[in-house]
Structure 1
Amino acid sequence: MNLEMFKHIFYRMPIVVRLLLSVFVVMMLFGTVIRLVEPQQFPSVFDGVWWAFVTGATVGYGDYVPLTVPGRIIGILLILSGGGLLTFFLTTFATKTINHENDLSEGKVSFNGKNHIVVIGWNERTRQLVEMIADKDSNQELVLIDRTLDKLQYRHYPVHFIHGDPSEDAVLVQANIQDAESVLISSDVTIEERKADINTILTTIAVRGNNQDIPINTEILTISQVENAIRAGADTVISSNDFMSTLFYHELFHKKDTRPFETVLNLLNDQQFSHIKLPEELEGSSFKKAVPFFLENHEILLGIIRDNDWLMNPSEITLGTEDTLIILSSWQ
């Protein structure tokens, strides 16, 4: 390897690696020289290298000490050069660590993990979502993509922050979208609803283009854009305005002494919905007779989906093989 090739490789290394290699080379050099100058005091090269590191780090155990004038001159040179080099390495390492932490908080560092959840858009809804996921499963990796945030400290929120436009491939690659488990795209409520939906659909197209198999959950604000979101590749479209309007209606016209919003909120915190195929033993049974079957497993039969019609708590109906049952069960 010629000098130019060595320089090409050496100067392409990270500065911390270069400094560490320099420290080792300098300590090996001083350790070898002191072994040659005072072989009686330093029986092996390793003893000389040990002395060089201890002296250069200004620890000074005193187990190996040069006694001759040339040996002490070497010690002086080591203290002047090696000590400064070690100090420079430590300060550089500390600086790189701080800079890396700053880059993380500013969303400049790529995510290299797998099976993570990508959350797009930072707002009060996604903030609470992050806290809920952290409470349920602290081992679940979360990656947040947002272009409006300038900084997000990891110690405040357990997410890997990526700053940028989520509709750009380079940003999605930074979030390692190819190895992600699922994606949630939240609408930007700070801009006009139609524009927010257009941005959401563009992001959905970009995510689907980078990963054909990943489940995409997309929030849409206007009804007219729901079909476009599905065409763009969304697996689930969350029409948040519809949901909130329904809750408002229940709050306005609910029965006396009923609290619909608190009921729904606590229900979703502790229970989850499941869609299952009709068990064979329930074929031909009535809905009423099927209810106790699920109660034995601490599950509640809420209704069925038949020919894209949702029949919730039907009075009298016979269950068929093509029916999909809607079950409520615990998160555990």
Structure 2
Amino acid sequence: MFPLQRILFRIVRLNNWVLFWASTSLILVSTIAMSTIEPETFPTIFDSFWWVMTTVTTVGYGDYYPVTIAGRIYAVFLYIIGIGLIGVVIGKIIDSFGMLRKMREEGKLDYKGENHIVIIGWSKKAEYAIEEILQTDSSMEIVLIDILKKTPINNNRVSYVQGSASNQTILQKANITKSKAVIIFADDTIEDSLLADGKTLLIATAVERIARDAHTTVEILHEEHIQNFVHVHVDEFVVTHETVSRMAVRSAFTKGVSFVYSQLMSHKYGDDLYQLSSRSEWRTYQDAFDALIKEGATLIANSEGINISRRLDESIKEDTTLYIICDKETYTRLTNT
């Protein structure tokens, strides 16, 4: 038994490619050998191949078995060497899958997809953002970047990249240049808002340097810090403290307004806010407003502001982006016509 153990230990230590070619060669040689030794028992190469495979991977099915002394001696050899070799190969394959899963959980794999959304910075806000994204589009792929040792979320649609988002290599691992959008959340672990927004600025600069075409949304804690981002291409800012405070005040003065905000900001409730391209037959905002009302949607804004109701007689410029309020079914119908 001791020599056999030494052989098995040496097999385990073999290079994966050596193991692969050794096992493949053993199967091919054994297939030809058994067909040659016992042509009556194994009339075709496939019959011999079938017996070899069932022998080295299971205990066999009993439909084919060697009947000559030479055939049985070779079968014993195959039991001892073949089953051990193939067992090691199967074990290594299983270990490889386990290693890949471990590397994925630890954020050590490169993301190769495209048109995904990159979220930088893990927090409750990021968790809610992921939930909202997947409710909006269940097929969307998301890449989360953070310094945590393991992924904080278990979802097949979410890939994790571990590291500092200010590092260009980490951003490239997230394939940020092929992303659809980037969302940068402020670091909740930094108590000083100046330092938190400073870190956000550093990350936004790194993102802008290699992914200028990605739509970038940045969370900052104080509105006056926006001017510090003037040299960085940021598409949209979300001001956390001011936004929450203003919403609370508006709710105090206008009862029920927070419910309206919640409907517009989340796909969980009621109608939602959608983006729509202008149609050639809509010459004025009045034309667009009337046509959309008949379809069950309300036109509220364009890319310049929400004062559409006072500009209904104005002509709509070519390629103007409009914003409407409606349910998902209405929006789907509008975009498909």
Q: Shorter-chain TM-score: which interval?
A: 0.7 to 0.9
What corresponds to 2:8 in structure 1? none
Residue by residue over 1:18-72, the C-alpha shift from the partner in whole angstroms, topping out at 9 and shown as x without a partner, is 5443322111122222233333333344433322212112331223322222221
Alpha-carbon offset, residue 92 of structure 1: 1.8
Matches within 5 A, 1:55-94: 55-94=55-94
Correspondence 1:328 to 2:324: yes
- Rounded to whole Å, the distance in 1 between the matches of 2:311 and 2:55 is 88
Question: Aligned partners of 1:290 and 1:76: how far apart in 2?
Answer: 82
Give 3-state SS (helix, strand or coil) of 1:231's partner. coil
The residue aligned with 2:27 is: 27
User: Can you give the 5+ residue segments of structure 1 that lack an aligned partner in the other structure?
Assistant: 1-12
State how far apart, in whole Å, the 2-side matches of 1:204 and 1:81 are.
58
Q: CA deviation at 1:293?
A: 5.6
1:78 to 1:305, Cα distance in 2 relative to 1, 3 A: closer
CA distance in 2, matches of 1:47, 1:130: 53
Alpha-carbon distance in structure 2 between the residues aligned to 1:204 and 1:276: 29
Q: Flag the 1:80–1:276 CA change in 2: closer, same or farther, 3 A.
A: closer
1:153 to partner: Cα distance: 6.2
CA RMSD of aligned residues (A): 3.1
- Contact 2:184–2:217 (CA under 8 A) maintained in structure 1: yes
- Supply the AA of the counterpart residue of 2:160: F
- Per-residue CA deviation, residues 121-166 of structure 1 (Å, 9 max, x unaligned), is 111111011112222321111111111x222266457411111111
Q: Partner residue of 1:108?
A: 108
Work out whether 1:261 is the aligned partner of 2:263: no
CA contact 1:116–1:182 (8 Å) conserved in 2:
yes
Q: Is the 8 A contact 2:278 2:322 kept in 1?
A: no
- Relative to structure 1, the CA distance from residue 204 to residue 18 in structure 2 (aligned partners, 3 Å threshold; closer, same or farther) is farther
- What is the TM-score with the length of structure 2 in the denominator? 0.79
Q: Offset at 1:318? A: 7.0
Displacement of 1:243 after TM fit? 1.1
Counterpart of 1:259, as a letter, is: G
Structure 2, unmatched stretches of 5+, are: 1-13, 329-337
- Note closer, same or farther for the CA distance 1:319–1:206 as it changes in structure 2 (3 Å cut): same
Matches within 5 A, 1:111-260: 111-147=111-147, 149-152=148-151, 155-156=154-155, 158-191=157-190, 192-252=192-252, 254-255=253-254, 258-260=255-257
Post-superposition offset of 1:244: 1.3
AA in 2 matched with 1:70: A
Distance 1:80 1:312, change over 3 A: same
Query: 2:47 is paired with a residue of what secondary structure?
Result: helix
* Closer/same/farther in 2, CA of residues 291 and 74 from structure 1, 3 Å limit: closer
TM norm structure 1: 0.80
Do the aligned partners of residues 14 and 313 (structure 1) sit closer, same or farther apart at CA in structure 2, a change above 3 Å counting?
farther
Amino acid at match of 2:261: V
Matched AA of 1:114: E
Distance in structure 2 (CA, Å) of the matches to 1:232 and 1:118: 18
Cα gap change, 1:86 to 1:153, in 2 (>3 Å):
farther
2:295 equivalent in structure 1: 297
Alpha-carbon distance between aligned partners in 2 of 1:246 and 1:313, rounded to the nearest angstrom: 23
Change in CA separation of 1:274 and 1:242 when aligned onto 2, cut-off 3 Å: farther
Q: Is the 8 A contact 1:230 1:237 kept in 2?
A: no
Q: Residues 276 and 323 of structure 2 are in contact (CA less than 8 Å); yes or no, is this contact kept in structure 1? A: yes
8 A Cα contact 1:34 1:48, kept in partner: yes
- Give the corresponding residue for 1:6: none
Q: How many residues align?
A: 307
Residue 250 of structure 1 deviates from its aligned partner by 1.6
